[in-house]
Amino acid sequence: MVQSIEHTFGVPVEIEPGILRVTLPLPSGPRHVHTYLVRDEDGWMLVDTGLGLPGPPWREIAAGLDAPVVRIFITHMHPDHVGGAEEAARLLGVPVLQGRLDYAQCERVWGSRDWPERIAAWFLRNGVPPGLAEELIESGHVFADFVKFAWNPTLVDPGDEIAGWRVLATPGHADGHLCLHRDGVLVAGDHVLSPITPAIGLYPESRPDPLGDYVGSLADVAALEPRLALPGHGEIIVGAAERAAEIVAHHEDRLDRTEAALGAGPRTGFDASHALFGRELPPIQRRFAVAETLSHLERLVVLGRAGRTDDGLTVTYTAA
Ligand SMILES: [Zn+2]
């Protein structure tokens, strides 16, 4: 099955009156990311900004609208969503709104020089061999040059209202991930995707149980029964509650397989990632595989289905 969708990049497409989608290219992964323009009473809000590649013609796009763009909202600090924020804000001359927790993590990861060393140390603790850890860091920082987030945005918090949109905390894919909800429309970021499922990884200095967070915040969103969800990748989602249930089932299956990968002897997250995702993976995918395996291992520990030992050097897991 072909999982990528044909897209015309940089051209607004009307989803319904008052909602435009502008899709931008990505050099890897799903090869595209969606941004949205949503009509508020006082003008248009741009949601997410793509990677910081040259090109999105924001001024030309804005010139074709019936009202000015008045604000930019960022769902989360991953490169393909926040990377173009500074440039979009400069071109449009509008403020950027970003979650308080999300912005703190954005600065820590993309705005600090010691992040590569901290994440390397963390990979080593989780069993990644030193040579490979270096490769994982390099592959992870391929994007760093293209992350031009907006410094000192207007900080928002869950529960705030922005032009009638309710700000929802939706941790999981990123700790500080936010969605917006208004009149049955969910601006979903990477919280609910179709047909791909959002990556749920454990990373250093992140919340301890991202998969538990994720399943909880999926239930919150499903309870709202949005009629339309606008995701960062893939297809527009009609019936987000059903899609949320499918994603939960996917993680339950992966939890079972993660549990099956454990035995009486200690295994690191890196070891277990081989059982789940195979031995042959390019570094960038191994990086996601280790992080995703760890989020499932930590969830199993919380559920009493696995044991965890940290001897100060290495973290290992055993069957419960
Ligand atoms: Zn994304």
The pLDDT-based confidence of 5 (bands split at 50, 70, 90) is low
> What is the 173 CA–ligand 1 centroid distance (Å)?
9
Least confident of 1-5, 13-17, 109-113, 292-296: 1-5
Q: At what angle do helices 283-302 and 240-260 cross, to 10 degrees?
A: 90
Q: Report the pLDDT averaged over residues 82-103.
A: 98
Q: Is 296 exposed, middle or buried (0-12, 13-18, 19+ CB in 10 A)?
A: buried
Examine the pLDDT at 147 and tell me if it is beyond 90.
Answer: yes
Q: Look at residue 205 in the predicted model and tell me its pLDDT.
A: 86
H or E element in which residue 285 lies: helix 283-302
Q: Look at residue 2 in the predicted model and tell me its pLDDT.
A: 37
Q: Is 161 exposed, middle or buried (0-12, 13-18, 19+ CB in 10 A)?
A: exposed
| pLDDT tens per residue, range 19-50 | 999 999 998 888 999 999 999 999 999 999 99
Q: Which residue has tokens 């079972």?
A: 256
> What is the 42 CA–ligand 1 centroid distance (Å)?
28
**CA atoms of 93 and 70, how far apart (whole Å):** 8
> What is the 263 CA–ligand 1 centroid distance (Å)?
34
Mean pLDDT over the full length of the chain: 93
Residues around the ion ligand 1 (C-beta < 5 A): 80, 190, 232
Q: Is the pTM of this model over 0.75?
A: yes
Examine the pLDDT at 3 and tell me if it is beyond 50.
Answer: no
Q: Report the pLDDT averaged over residues 134-155.
A: 86
Tell which wins on pLDDT, 6 or 196: 196
> What is the 191 CA–ligand 1 centroid distance (Å)?
9
> What is the 41 CA–ligand 1 centroid distance (Å)?
28
Tell which wins on pLDDT, 113 or 46: 46
Q: Look at residue 4 in the predicted model and tell me its pLDDT.
A: 45
Q: Look at residue 33 in the predicted model and tell me its pLDDT.
A: 96
* Sheet strands (E) in 41-106: 43-47, 69-74, 96-99
> What is the 300 CA–ligand 1 centroid distance (Å)?
26
| pLDDT tens per residue, range 216-248 | 999 999 999 999 999 999 999 999 999 999 999
Q: Look at residue 139 in the predicted model and tell me its pLDDT.
A: 72
278 in Cβ contact with 271 (< 8 Å) = no
**CA atoms of 51 and 191, how far apart (whole Å):** 18
> What is the 264 CA–ligand 1 centroid distance (Å)?
37
> What is the 71 CA–ligand 1 centroid distance (Å)?
20
The DSSP letter of residue 195 is: S
Percent of the chain with pLDDT over 70: 98
Q: Look at residue 6 in the predicted model and tell me its pLDDT.
A: 61
> What is the 308 CA–ligand 1 centroid distance (Å)?
30
Sheet strands side by side (includes 161-162): 161-162, 165-169, 178-182, 185-189, 228-231
Half-sphere exposure of 17 (CA within 13 A, CB side): 0
Examine the pLDDT at 143 and tell me if it is beyond 80.
Answer: no
**CA atoms of 171 and 176, how far apart (whole Å):** 6
Percent of the chain with pLDDT over 90: 81
**CA atoms of 275 and 298, how far apart (whole Å):** 16
Q: Which residues of 57-66 are buried (b: 16+ CB within 10 A; e: fewer)?
A: ebeebbeeee
Least confident of 129-143, 189-203, 228-242, 259-273: 129-143
Examine the pLDDT at 98 and tell me if it is beyond 80.
Answer: yes
Q: Is 244 exposed, middle or buried (0-12, 13-18, 19+ CB in 10 A)?
A: buried
Backbone angles phi, psi at 56, to 5 degrees: -55, 120
